[in-house]
């Protein structure tokens, strides 16, 4: 055992594979996306900001439609989650982007010949609401919820 063994463990498996000469390419390259700019794979920061905007919009709608619900209560949280899921599902099915995605210039596309239909997007939204699948992603920035339905989020502007 020498320093290289410990170094590869500390820096992670990807660094060790790169040292051995394996090329990973840029995020989205496997799917024919651009390296940067419009048409490239969306990065985590922009996606999380869009998600936060969608959640904030759901909170505002909950406050406007259900003024009797107390912020922080279980009923308020469940209602907000339902409105969030409805907004994300319906806007993504009809326009390819939720409210937050549209504002931050993101779009959901299929990585295969099969188009994204209502059931696939509904399943993606349900997994997104569980949070954990969205926090596990691959080298292309695709969350587990995107991998399951065969989609990727790309920059549209």
Residue 54 within a domain: yes
Token match 């869009």: residue?
A: 50
Q: What is the pLDDT of residue 4?
A: 56
Residue 5 within a domain: no
Residue 6 within a domain: no
Residue 56 within a domain: yes
Residue 140 within a domain: yes
Residue 63 within a domain: yes
In this prediction, the residues of the chain whose per-residue pLDDT falls under 50 are none
Residue 90 within a domain: yes
What is the residue range of 86's domain?
A: 26-155
Residue 139 within a domain: yes
DSSP code string of 95-144? HSS-HHHHHTTEEEEESSSSPP-HHHHHHHHHHHHTSGGGG-B-TT--BH
Q: Domain total for the chain?
A: 1
Q: What is the pLDDT of residue 53?
A: 97
Q: What is the pLDDT of residue 62?
A: 96
């Amino acid at each position: 055992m020498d320093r290289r063994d410990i170094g590869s463990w500390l820096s992670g498996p990807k660094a060790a594979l790169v040292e051995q000469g394996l090329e990973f390419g840029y995020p989205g390259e496997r799917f024919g996306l651009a390296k940067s700019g419009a048409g490239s794979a969306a990065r985590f920061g922009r996606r999380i900001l869009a998600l936060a905007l969608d959640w904030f919009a759901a909170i505002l709608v909950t406050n406007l439609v259900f003024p009797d619900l107390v912020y922080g209560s279980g009923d308020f949280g469940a209602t907000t989650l339902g409105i969030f899921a409805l907004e994300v599902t319906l806007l993504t099915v009809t326009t390819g982007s939720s409210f937050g995605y549209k504002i931050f210039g993101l779009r959901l596309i299929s990585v295969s010949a099969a188009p994204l239909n209502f059931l696939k997007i509904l399943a993606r939204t349900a997994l997104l609401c569980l949070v954990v699948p969205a926090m596990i992603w691959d080298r292309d920035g695709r969350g587990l919820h995107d991998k399951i339905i065969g989609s990727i989020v790309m920059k549209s502007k």
